[in-house]
Chain A
Amino acid sequence: MAVFTALGGELTGLSPEDARTAAHYALREINGPRDWFPVLLAAKLDVVGAVLETKIAGLFGEGADDAV
């Protein structure tokens, strides 16, 4: 959230690796994804989409889901 605020709500400047890490953390929030997750999804659709795919693969016992 601090990073989101520091970037002025603009997440397009994140590197792909940071975006991937942020997406993993967002999906692990115990109270549901943070407010900035939709912004991240819109800004980094490819990277976040790939993270979502790994979560789905986990349902079928595939992939290394915990990689952050």
Chain B
Amino acid sequence: MPSDHHSLRAIATLVPAAKLVAGDLLTRLEQRTPDGTAGLLDALAIIAQGTEEDRSRLARLSALRTTELWGNDLYKAWPWLQAWMSTDVAAAWTFIERALTTTPDDARAVLVRVLGFWDEVHFDVTAMWSELRRQPALLARIIPTVFRHLPPGDDPQHTGVYQIMAEDRAIDIRGRLPRLLEQIAGPESHAALKALAMHADLAALRPFFQNAVRRHGEAAAEGEPWTPAQIVAFAAEHECDPRPPGDLFRVACNRLQAVRHDIEERDFGDRGLFPPKTPEITLQRYFAGRLERESRGRYDVTREEEVADHKEPDIRLRRAQVGVVSIEIKPLDPGRYSVAEMKDTLETQLVGQYMRAVDSRHGILLLCMIKDRKWEIEKPDGTIDRTAGLPDLLKVLNDAAADLVAGRPDIDGLTVIGIDATPWAKAGKASKTKEAKAPAKPGGRAKVKTAAPTEGT
């Protein structure tokens, strides 16, 4: 038998229905608190969708109820605190700060619960996040408190498959807060970043905040004028020497895209050079050589031959006084690397081990498909696409990379580049399906893309 609070959840998911009843529901709650908490959160979520006046009244009521209940019945206080957070985050956070000082033993548990509100799925927290973006000074208060009571050193260490718990969600939110502050333009957020770069509770994050101060300043300032030599060099080569690490990362991405174009599109490119089961080390040598030949003095290439515990990336691009870009290479053919394995490579290997080991804040996962294959990828509607190709794979992995950058203050840039190095399909022998995807190329071969002018035409 569906319960009554199931109906309330249904109403909360329908904006017109929620708006219709929000005022009446709020009046009832102001007069009387329900005996239990079942359905209360949904009722509060309904009111939060009401008018601005409804939201203001809800903020006052939530503050009152939270304060009344906090010391007596914590369980009943949570829904009210959540409503308070979503309607007046500054006042609610001040309350939390005081609560954390009075319950230091439970500080981590309290913070896990509070940050869990910020990742809420059925309570609309859009307005709360918007408010945080308008208040960099508040974020500058929140960040050290969160890192002090939820220190990364106490985080659970997951291996293999694991269920995401409230603590994992809170850790994810914690990682997003510094980046959120950096994204806010203006002198107030700049001053906040500078203060946090020197904050005693944030020693582990000092490199991030120092870099964030520089990036924030660069984004706000007019660039330095170019020297005549730089203008001449740019006219000849269409690029300049990289200065901040982000520049080196962009140069690395551009070089690899040029290599990709060269392999995939050129008439005498290197498609089909690598047979199935080509060892990873062969590809490392090949790409290290390509990157070195095309460095044009912008960077040095280092390839790790033998490294203890394999804690360093396959290739590093380094420029003195600028930084290091780590590149991990994976060959793709039938049997090598599922989507889950590549996500694990991205997060655990590239970010978690290699980039950390060489103090690199930028990384590239380079995927080289040497024999055609498909992957199983979950679509937005929950169904599984069992025929996903390389472009679909890159979309999924680059979304995961963007999530990692947003959630980890220790990295600044991460991308996945894919190169289709499978042999051209031979014209006349290809199946109809293959012909549709890979039209025959003059000279007896076919290519996937025909954007580049073909030989002899």
Provide the residues of chain B in CB contact with A27, threshold 8 Å. Answer: 6-7, 10-11
Residues of A within 8 A of B296 (CB): none
- Check B400 for interface membership: any CB of A closer than 8 A: no
Contact with B along A45-68 (1 / 0, CB 8 A): 100110011011011110001100
Instruction: Point out which of A48, A53, A58, A66 has the most chain B C-beta atoms below 10 A from its C-beta.
Output: A58
Question: Once the chains are docked, how many angstroms separate the CA of A41 from the CA of B10?
Answer: 13
Q: Which residues of A contact B4 (CB under 8 A)?
A: 55, 58-59, 65
Interchain CB contact under 8 A, B16 and A52? no
Whether A42 sits at the interface, judged by CB under 8 Å, is: yes
Encoded as 1 (CB less than 8 Å from any A CB) or 0, chain B from 8 to 29 comes to 1111011011001100110010
* Distance to closest chain A CB from B8 (angstroms): 6
The interface residues of chain A, by DSSP majority, are classed as: helix
Contacts of A32 in B (CB 8 A): 9-10, 13
Does B43 interact with chain A (Cβ within 8 Å)? yes
Among B33-41, B140-148, B175-183, the stretch that binds chain A is B33-41
Known pairs A38-B16, A42-B16; A56 contacts B10 (CB<8 A): no
Whole-angstrom distance between the Cβ of B134 and the nearest chain A Cβ: 32
- Provide the bound-state CA to CA distance between A56 and B45, in Å: 13
For the complex formed, measure the closest distance between the CB of A41 and the CB atoms of chain B, giving whole angstroms: 6
- B2 close to A (CB within 8 Å): yes
Q: Closest CB of chain B to A55's CB: distance in Å?
A: 4
Residues of A within 8 A of B1 (CB): 66
Complex: A64 Cα to B21 Cα, angstroms: 18
Report yes or no: A59 in contact with B16, Cβ–Cβ below 8 A: no
Q: Is B158 an interface residue (CB 8 A)?
A: no
B17 contacts which chain A residues (CB < 8 A)? 33, 37-38, 41, 48, 52
Q: Is the Cβ of A33 less than 8 Å from the Cβ of B21? A: no
Among the listed A29, A38, A55, which residue makes an inter-chain contact with B8, where contact means beta carbons less than 8 Å apart? Answer: A55
B5 on the A face (CB < 8 A): yes
B373 CB, nearest partner CB in chain A, Å: 35
Our pick among A33, A49, A59, A60 for the contact of B14 (Cβ within 8 Å) is A33
Q: Are A28 and B16 in contact (CB under 8 A)?
A: no
Q: Is A14 an interface position by the 8 A CB rule? A: no
B9 contact set on A, CB distance < 8 A: 32
The reply to whether A59 and B21 contact each other, CB–CB distance below 8 Å, is no
A56 & B2 in contact (Cβ 8 Å cutoff):
no
* Residue contact B34 to A60, C-beta cutoff 8 Å: yes
A41 and B16 form a contact (CB under 8 A) = yes
Measured between alpha carbons, how far is A53 from B6 in the docked complex, in Å?
14
Query: Which partner residue on chain B sits nearest A28 by CB separation?
Result: B2
Contact of B449 with A by CB under 8 A: no
Contact yes or no, B40 A59, CB < 8 A: yes
Contacts of A41 on B, CB cut-off 8 Å? 14, 16-17, 20
B379 in contact (CB, < 8 A) = no
- A65/B10 in contact, CB under 8 A: no
Residues of A within 8 A of B24 (CB): 53, 56
Chain B CB count within 10 A is highest, among A59, A60, A61, for A59
When distances are taken between beta carbons in the complex, the residues of chain A under 8 Å from B5 are 59
- Contact of B7 with A28 in the complex, beta carbons under 8 Å: yes
Chain B residues positioned under 8 Å from A59 (CB to CB)? 4-5, 8, 25, 28, 34, 39-40, 43
Complex CA–CA separation, A49 to B18 (angstroms): 10
A42 to B, closest residue via Cβ: B16
Please tell me if the beta carbons of A60 and B7 are within 8 angstroms of each other in the complex: no
List B contacts of A53 (CB < 8 A).
21, 24
When distances are taken between beta carbons in the complex, the residues of chain A under 8 Å from B34 are 59-61
Considering the chains assembled together, what is the distance between the CA atoms of A27 and B8 in angstroms? 8
Cα-based distance from A49 to B22 in the complex (angstroms): 12
Q: Which of A37, A58, A60, A65 lies at the interface centre, i.e. has the most chain B CB atoms within 10 A of its CB?
A: A60
> A37's closest neighbor in chain B, by CB?
B14
CA distance A45 to B19 in the complex (A): 12
Within 8 A of A (CB), among B267-295: none
**B32 to A60, Cβ gap below 8 A?**
yes
Contact of A28 with B35 in the complex, beta carbons under 8 Å = no
In the bound assembly, the distance between CA atoms of A48 and B16 in angstroms comes to 11
Judged by a CB distance under 8 angstroms, whether A6 is at the interface is no
B35–A61 CB distance below 8 A: yes
Pairs A-B, 9 closest by C-beta atoms: A58-B4, A55-B7, A27-B7, A27-B10, A28-B2, A52-B21, A59-B39, A33-B10, A32-B13
A-B contact pairs, 15 of them (CB 8 A): A27-B6, A27-B11, A29-B10, A30-B6, A32-B9, A33-B17, A37-B17, A41-B16, A52-B20, A59-B5, A59-B34, A59-B40, A60-B28, A60-B34, A65-B4
- A52-B11, A60-B32 known; 12 other A-B pairs, CB under 8 Å? A27-B7, A29-B10, A37-B14, A41-B20, A45-B20, A49-B20, A49-B21, A53-B21, A58-B39, A59-B4, A61-B35, A65-B7
Binding site for A on B (CB under 8 A): 1-2, 4-11, 13-14, 16-17, 20-21, 24-25, 28, 32, 34-35, 39-40, 43
